[in-house]
Amino acid sequence: MKLNRRQILASLGFGAALTATGWPRRVHSSPIAWPSPLRVGDRLIGVAPGTWVDPDTLQGDRGWQRLYQDWGFDLVIPEQSLGQWTYFSASDADRAALLRQAWRDPGADGVVCIAGGWGAARSLEAGFAPGASPRWCVGFSDNCALLLAQLAAGGRGGIHGWKDERVRQLLMGEPVGPLTGQPLRGGVAEGELVVTNLTVGTHLIGTPWMPSLDGTILVLEDVGEAPYRIDRMLTQWRTAGLLQNLAGIGLGHFRWIPEDVLPGDLSLAEVLEDRLGDLGIPIVQGLPVGHGRPNKALPLGRRARLDAQAGTLSLLS
């Protein structure tokens, strides 16, 4: 994800097992717990794990607090979330401390990431650890680092989303309809969802914050990355051994600057076919997920069904 930070903001008990990277991977020995569905009046905390908050995202009918108020929730945005330190909302240590406080606040039911840009992974490096306790966490783009880290720790409640009605439905435990795209490789697969921005996920490879992908349905999206850079990142995922045991793949929005594509470059369709087509698993492309409109919310860790005959992705549980 070649980030223009302001454009990105505006566009919008477990045992350890060693992996091939040498990092401990969580092995779940008990049933996975999910946070309880929210009810009208429940409280959430707005956090900025990376880049400082663009004031435009706080104003008007689609401002964060107005939106969540319309949904029936009380979204509290601490003053610390609205600061600025270089292009971050605060120093790494202060952002990590605020995340710990918000994540463990007994009077709140979860967190909402109100800015993207860059810096969530630095908050993890600075010591924030989501842990295995269930907790609602809404975010996408750079905040995929938090969602993936939560999943890697064994926690549930992460929602890859922004300001979409499906976020409210998922938070309140309401059913949501299937997402529709176009078949790329036929077949039907079931597995837990892992959803991430491709660039953010790529930069977590080899860290303790990348969850196991074995048997999962992996959904990828990106923005600002030309097809040759998508090729480079998918090659990294292949050579790191992360794509070999997937159940299926969903592909969301991919957008880039036209000037980044030169005569003779592979098209995105050619890159996806070449890097993913030989995996022998169902693949659906063109899903309404990620940087673009619509950006439909998906919950990480929920079981889903990818029907690459019909071109649909549906939640099962």
Is 28 an active-site residue? no
Is 273 an active-site residue? no
Residues 295 and 162: beta-carbon distance below 8 Å: yes
Is 141 an active-site residue? yes
Report the C-alpha gap between 240 and 238 in whole angstroms.
Answer: 5
The amino acid at 155: G
Buried b (16+ CB within 10 A) or exposed e, 229-260: bbbebbebbeeeebbeebbbbbbbbbebeeee
The amino acid at 5: R
Catalytic annotation, pick one of 123, 192, 221, 225? 221
Q: Is the bond leading into 175 cis (omega within 30 degrees of zero)?
A: no
What does DSSP say about strands 136-139 and 110-113: parallel, antiparallel, or unpaired? Answer: parallel
Report the C-alpha gap between 62 and 56 in whole angstroms.
Answer: 10
The pair of three-digit structure tokens given for residue 301, joined into one six-digit string = 């860790």
Catalytic annotation, pick one of 141, 160, 192, 212? 141
Q: Which of 93, 213, 104 is nearest to 148 (CA)?
A: 213
What does DSSP say about strands 182-185 and 188-197: parallel, antiparallel, or unpaired? Answer: unpaired
Residues 76 and 102: beta-carbon distance below 8 Å: no
Coil vs helix vs strand at 10: helix
Residues acting as catalytic residues? 141, 221, 291
